[in-house]
Amino acid sequence: MMKEPQSISRKTVLLMAIATGVIVANLNFIQPIEGLIANDFHLSKAIVGVLAMLTQMGYAVGLLLIVPLGDIFDRYHLIQFMMVLSIIALLAAFLSPNAMIFAIATTLIGITSVAPQIIIPYAGFLAPAMQRGKVLGTVLSGLLTGILLSRSFSGLLGSVIDWQYIYLIAAIMDLMLLFIVHRAMPRDPRGHQNLSYLNVIKSLPRLFVTQRRLQGSSLNGFTMFAVSNVMWSTIAFYLADQYHLGSNVAGLLGLLGIAGVLAAPYIGDLVDHRSPRLTIGLSVFFSSLAFLLFWLIGHWMIGLIIGIILLDLGTQFSQVSNQAIVQSLNRKESSRNNSIFMFSYFLGGSLGTLSATWAWSVAKWNGVCLVAVVFLVIALLGHLTLKEPEKLHD
């Protein structure tokens, strides 16, 4: 039987949080600069929405086919290998001469930027059971910081330099991080496992079908990340249409999610010592309240600001709670369980992006809010029927 870890150092947790944040940023650079890409490549808003979806669909493929390798290979080496591939993909995006090449590059960025989803179960593996929620909350606060800052970074830079250089700067940042990870990331105590990749991939449907907690987390993650992306994939369009503002403001609004970053470790504590069912319920509540505000008073900036804060809180409540549930399952299968959960999570995100950009083209902001309502109703039904656990630890 695998020995339960006794502790994990703060330095290690901080490094993991920073690494997840820097790498996951690759996925979100495209959102605030969709309008700039559309103008440069002479694309419609609906088509540029497809490009954003390709990044997330690529990520979903990577989650399904690459992240399970964490149950086979030494995670210390696997993380670095995927970072090298993501740097190459970022450089391809920077050098893309046309929309077709950029579409391929952005898909590869999604596929190769999965190292955070190898790091997260690794953090859960190294953390003691009663600290797992808090450790995961801290690492996930790094993840959310990366998502938020990437939007601000991309939106602000896109207003002063050619958008292609955003991908060059990202590649340089990832290269610097790679050297730090190589020197400071802890070695995997398991080493390489004697498992067949084909058998590991074949086991994914069985793990999903036989674990009700994984089913509940996958459905909640699917719907709640879809809801988040419904707003973030169309906010630049709404700001331009309603307020006549550009990508720089869309980037600045992303900073409002700092509330979710600060809340993440406390959410982890709530999961550890209270109830993941409570925190999942709060995630649905906050996100529903956010879109109620977007719909009713989104035409006032204060309504938009409060709604974004609530939406990011709801997203973080969902992510931390579900990760704690998923990582409380069989530790030998932690990467595979995370692969299934995160695959559904980003599948929801890509569907949210695609449906929201389509809804915008048909019915503008009202259509976007209606799409969010559909996902929120599904999330609520899942919460009431699949019923997350009251406690993770006896």
Question: What are 88-142's pLDDT values in tens digits?
Answer: 999 999 999 999 999 999 999 999 999 999 999 899 888 887 778 788 888 988 8
pLDDT(1) > 70: no
What pLDDT does residue 221 have?
Answer: 95
191 Cβ contact partners less than 8 Å away, ≥ 6 residues apart:
74
What pLDDT does residue 272 have?
Answer: 79
DSSP-assigned letters across all residues of 29-63: TTTTTHHHHHHHHT--HHHHHHHHHHHHHHHHHHH
pLDDT(376) > 80: yes
* 7: three-class secondary structure by DSSP: coil
Mean pLDDT for the stretch of residues 241-268 = 78
Judge contact between 31 and 154, C-beta under 8 A: yes
Mean pLDDT for the stretch of residues 330-354 = 87
What pLDDT does residue 233 have?
Answer: 84
40-88 confidence digits (pLDDT tens): 898 887 788 788 878 878 888 898 899 999 989 999 999 999 999 999 9
pLDDT(313) > 60: yes
Mean pLDDT for the stretch of residues 254-262 = 77
Mean pLDDT for the stretch of residues 254-279 = 81
> Which pTM value belongs to this model?
0.79
> What's the pLDDT band for 2 if we cut at 50, 70, 90?
low
Q: Provide the CA 86 distance to its chain's centre, in angstroms.
A: 16
pLDDT(251) > 70: no
What pLDDT does residue 247 have?
Answer: 64
* pLDDT: which is higher, 221 or 232: 221
Mean pLDDT for the stretch of residues 263-292 = 89
Spatial CA neighbour of 75 closest among 178, 188, 186: 188
DSSP-assigned letters across all residues of 229-255: HHHHTTHHHHIIIII---HHHHHHHHG
- Domains of the chain (ranges, CATH numbers): 10-181+204-386 (1.20.1250.20)
DSSP-assigned letters across all residues of 219-230: HHHHHHHHHHHH
Mean pLDDT of the chain: 88
φ, ψ dihedrals at 128, nearest 5°: -65, 155
pLDDT(230) > 70: yes
Reported as half-sphere exposure (CB side, CA atoms, 13 A), residue 255 has a value of 9
Judge contact between 320 and 136, C-beta under 8 A: yes
* pLDDT: which is higher, 313 or 261: 313
> What's the pLDDT band for 354 if we cut at 50, 70, 90?
confident
| Max CA separation in the chain (angstroms) | 61
What pLDDT does residue 4 have?
Answer: 56
pLDDT(153) > 60: yes
What pLDDT does residue 118 have?
Answer: 93
pLDDT(389) > 70: yes
Mean pLDDT for the stretch of residues 354-363 = 92
